[in-house]
Every structure is written in structure tokens, then in C-alpha cells.
Amino acid sequence: MSLFRDDGIVLRTQKLGEADRIITLLTRGHGRVRAVARGVRRTKSKFGARLEPFSHVDVQFFARGSELVGRGLPLCTQSETIAPYGGAIVTDYARYTAGTAMLETAERFTDHEGEPAVQQYLLLVGGLRTLAGGEHAPNLVLDAFLLRSLAVNGYAPSFGACARCGMPGPNRWFSVAAGGVVCGECRVPGSVVPSAESLTLLGALLTGDWATADASEPRHVREGSGLVAAYLHWHLERGLRSLRYVEK
Ligand SMILES: [Zn+2]
């Protein structure tokens, strides 16, 4: 049997039996972890209140080797709140839908439980902090998070140089299958021609140039979000359910 401690973001909770929950977290050191939290659905459980989606928590886990605990999952035995981002997120519809899509994306990009995904973890913590802070539009925070998640998982789209031959930008055509913008020589069937401003916005979101991103016009933000969603869906095989509810 072993005790281990880690901090993480609560991605999701599911009911287990009468009073328990299975908590899914993206942790700093152990990647995605599912664990059983006992008694957390009793109304006066402070422990349960801390283990809600969007919370950044420090958790002590107890694993019993080969002996089954719950469904063979480790137990959460203690938790401390590091930052309760949920409070500022769930009370605002646009933040909530963007945040839910961020949690779902983080889970989808961490297929293997227990496999460290430090960059994805850091992106999620930073993204939720920015979303809760409210200084940028929630859909921009979401798109920045999605683009950077694609990048740290090996699918960085190009918005300047041609994704195929490297010809310096600006390049007009955009192809999800080709990996971003492509030049006239490399354009493939199905390429679209987004506005130059939308491509500039996406490049700014990928690199963290918030001054450029915040100054973008709504129509370019909408077009950019569409390209991000198409690119993400291509790489995740099927669409993220929660993206449908994000206000455009
Ligand atoms: Zn090219």
C-alpha cells in the first residue's frame, strides 16, 4: 500500500453508491488520475465541496496495491484547496461553457491514466486562472487554450509559414488536413480562404499576444473559433460535445 500526494485540477465527478464519488483529476505529477472520495455527497462534507470541477486542489491519495478499493481506484483521503476557480466560472454562462470545453479537452488529450502530462496540466491551470480572472473574453481564452493544447500534443498549426513547404507567410489558404495555412503551390482540395485578420488572431492566441487578440473584431473572432474547432475535431476524431454550447 502506498500514500502519494499531488496537486491537480478536478475535471469531473461521478456518483458512486450512496455517498461516494469518483473524482477525475489532471495532476501535476501523475497525469490523469481517477480516485474514490468517500462520503463526499453527504450535505455537510467540506471535503466534497472542495472536490468540484474547476477546483485546483492538493490531494493525498491512498492506493492499496493489488487489493481492490472501490473499483480498484485509489482513495482520496485528504484535500486542500489551492484555488477555487469554480466560484468565478460556474456563475457566468460564457465562462462556464468555455471552462467545460477546456476540462473536456484536457481529458481527451490525456488518454492514458497515470502518464504525466505536465505541459497540458500547466496550460489548464493557466487557462482556468485567466478565465476566472475575467480580463479576456471567455471564447478567446478557450481558443488560446485549444490551440496551445494542440501544440503541446504535437499538432501545432501554422498560421504564417506554409505548413507543407515552409514558404514564409502570409499564406492565404487554410487546410485542417495540411496542418494550417498553405501556399498557392501546396493548396489542397477543401482548403478555405479565411480573412487575414482571423489568421493573425489565431497566431496571436497561439503565442499569447493578448493585445492583438483582445482588439479583434467579433466577425474575425467567430471565424477563428470555427477554424480552431475544425482543427481540433480533425485531431480528436470526433467533436467535443461541450463546444456546441459555447456562445459565439
Ligand atoms: Zn507551400
Query: How far does the centroid of ligand 1 lie from the alpha carbon of residue 181, in Å?
Result: 9
Domain with CATH 2.40.50.140 in the chain: 2-84
Query: How far does the centroid of ligand 1 lie from the alpha carbon of residue 183, in Å?
Result: 4
Give me 25's grid cell: 483529476
Cα 34 to the chain's mean position, in Å? 17
Residue 203, pLDDT score? 96
Query: How far does the centroid of ligand 1 lie from the alpha carbon of residue 173, in Å?
Result: 10
Quick one: CATH architecture of 89-245? Answer: Up-down Bundle (1.20)
Q: 20-27 and 2-16 as β-strands: parallel, antiparallel, unpaired?
A: antiparallel
What percentage of the chain exceeds 70 in pLDDT? 91
Query: How far does the centroid of ligand 1 lie from the alpha carbon of residue 168, in Å?
Result: 9
- The C-alpha atoms of residue 194 and residue 192 are separated, in whole angstroms, by 6
Domain with CATH 1.20.1440.120 in the chain: 89-245
> pTM surpassing 0.85?
yes
pLDDT in tens, 35-80: 999 888 776 777 777 899 999 999 999 987 644 444 478 999 889 9
Query: How far does the centroid of ligand 1 lie from the alpha carbon of residue 198, in Å?
Result: 20
Lowest mean pLDDT across 8-12, 59-63, 209-213: 59-63
pLDDT in tens, 84-115: 999 999 999 999 999 999 999 999 999 888 88
Residue whose cell numbers read 474547476: 54
Query: How far does the centroid of ligand 1 lie from the alpha carbon of residue 215, in Å?
Result: 30
Identify which has the larger pLDDT, 99 or 240.
99
Quick one: CATH architecture of 2-84? Answer: Beta Barrel (2.40)
Residue 66, pLDDT score? 47
Q: Which residues, in sequence order, are bridge partners of residue 83? A: 56
Query: How far does the centroid of ligand 1 lie from the alpha carbon of residue 162, in Å?
Result: 5
Residues 6+ away with beta carbon under 8 Å from 66: none
Whole-number Cα distances in Å, 52 to 24, 71, 154: 10, 20, 30
Query: How far does the centroid of ligand 1 lie from the alpha carbon of residue 228, in Å?
Result: 21
Query: How far does the centroid of ligand 1 lie from the alpha carbon of residue 174, in Å?
Result: 11
Instruction: Identify whether the C-beta of residue 216 lies closer than 8 Å to the C-beta of residue 201.
Output: yes
Query: How far does the centroid of ligand 1 lie from the alpha carbon of residue 180, in Å?
Result: 11
Amino acid at 150: L
Residue 196, pLDDT score? 96
